[in-house]
Amino acid sequence: MTLTTLRQSYQNGETTPAKVIESLAAGIAERDGSTGAYLSHDLERALKAAEEADLSKPLGGLPIAIKDNINTLGQPCTCGSKFLETAYTAPYDATVIRKLKEAGAIPFGRMNMDEFAMGSATENSALQLTRNPHDPDRIAGGSSGGSAAAVADGTAIAALGSDTGGSIRQPASHCGVVGLKPTYGRVSRYGLVAFASSLDQIGPLTRSVDDAALILQATAGHDPRDTTSLNVPVPDFSAGINDGVEGMKLGIPAEYFGEGIHPGVRDNVEKAIKSLEAKGATIIPISLPYTSYAVATYYVIAPAEASSNLSRFDGIRYGNRAANPADIIDVYHQSRENGFGPEVKRRIILGTYVLSSGYYDAFYTRAQKVRQLITRDFKRAFETVDAIISPVTPTPARKIGSCPDDPLQDYLSDVFTIAANLSGIPAISVPCGTTSFDGAAALPVGIQILAPHLGEQTLLRVAKAAEHI
């Protein structure tokens, strides 16, 4: 069921929140051993919340799974890392969790993820591997792979993820669900364990566009505890969602349909574009010339910010501490050496390098300038089109372990998603068919829709028209 249909079932007296929680727990016990989406779930606490649920609220009694880098009072928050596996329990609710609870939702389950959200496959989790429900030999995507896999597998009705360079949209595409990254600052980051503070954004993974709008409605809004939170009105995101695309102008960027795209991905996305055109949209070719610089720009800025953000994990302030250090320096050395996985270490080293004396201007300052050029590309494009359509990923989900010694291949899988984070605009992945790939008969494909800054209403309207094409 979707959140929308489940809420109707509550109102009709067909089921209860407690029965739904018990059903999800049974599904986790039956199926999650092979999927590996859940790191933990507190059934007793969820059932207590279910008994007290106020069904008159917008999300009354609806269970929502939470990516394990979002603090929930009394729950673990491991970030998929050995550093926090046993050493940290959240002492407070993140703003999004507080807002979900105020709307009546029940946070249920802590979802697996790439360690500290650094990865595109959930293979970088230090705790377990998450598999794609459509093919257990495939990745679920990342870094919100657990959230996407659980929604696709039926062990969660909806989930929260975080998106720094595509970490909601890419696993949503690979698992065949809806994944929404809001405008940067639309949803508070207070209580989200930071990876790259100028890029991170929390958003929903759901089974329908309507559900994504429902969760966004509950979680959006200004938060004085987050200095990057936008103090702007929150519109009704469901208003006009069924208005269709007649009369809208949709841009198709040439740079997103070049070499390297799997034919099945291209065919499905082009079919969806033709369907939107048949529904009354005008299709306009556009250019985003700085697209080719997005990946390189991201992998300067994001590791630089990660290097700074992860300095707090030192064995003193947070996380597991080395057992028998020789001195304070050895505490830092052993704790970080044993606590962080290879990808996290790689990005910390890269980020520290680009921020170091003599290299700051050559790399970090230059990357920030290119970021502005990428942002300018989108601003110019949105002067002539209402939204932009593209693939989410160049290929469907690859096989697990297929590029163990080549992280660059995973970096390039986010080539179509990164620019939205660099420019701060909203973007969504909506399923648009399946294709054969590398021995698999039918793997999901997603279509990406991008809208102007604070243009979530437009985004959701186009997404709804693209749904079930």
Q: How far apart are CA 31 and CA 150, in angstroms?
A: 10
Residue 260, burial from CB neighbour count under 10 angstroms (0-12, 13-18, 19+): exposed
Q: How far apart are CA 198 and CA 190, in angstroms?
A: 13
Say which residue the tokens 């802590």 belong to: 110
Q: Which amino acid makes up residue 124?
A: N
| Tokens linked to 357 | 């004396």
Q: How far apart are CA 101 and CA 73, in angstroms?
A: 11
Q: How far apart are CA 124 and CA 115, in angstroms?
A: 6
Catalytic residue among 67, 99, 101, 181: 67
Q: How far apart are CA 82 and CA 218, in angstroms?
A: 32
Q: How far apart are CA 429 and CA 390, in angstroms?
A: 10
The 3-state DSSP class for residue 380 equals helix
Whether residue 129 contacts residue 137, with contact meaning beta carbons closer than 8 Å, is answered with no
Note if 167 is an active site residue: yes
Q: How far apart are CA 176 and CA 349, in angstroms?
A: 34
Whether residue 213 contacts residue 241, with contact meaning beta carbons closer than 8 Å, is answered with yes
Whether residue 448 contacts residue 426, with contact meaning beta carbons closer than 8 Å, is answered with no
Note if 229 is an active site residue: no
Q: Cis bond leading into 143, ω under 30°?
A: yes
Which distant-in-sequence residues (6+ apart) come within 8 Å of 461 by Cβ? 240, 241, 243, 244, 245, 248
CA 177 to chain centre: 12
Tell me the CA distances in angstroms from 75 to 125, 273, 459, one per residue in order: 18, 43, 33
Q: How far apart are CA 378 and CA 375, in angstroms?
A: 5
Task: Quote the DSSP letter at residue 291.
Answer: G
Task: Quote the DSSP letter at residue 84.
Answer: T
Catalytic residue among 147, 162, 167, 423: 167
Whether residue 289 contacts residue 401, with contact meaning beta carbons closer than 8 Å, is answered with no
Return the H-helix or E-strand segment holding 381: helix 366-381
Residue 32, burial from CB neighbour count under 10 angstroms (0-12, 13-18, 19+): buried
Tell me the CA distances in angstroms from 115 to 108, 128, 144, 146, 293, one per residue in order: 20, 10, 10, 12, 26
Catalytic residue among 81, 120, 125, 143: 143
Note if 67 is an active site residue: yes
Q: Which are the catalytic amino acids?
A: 67, 143, 167
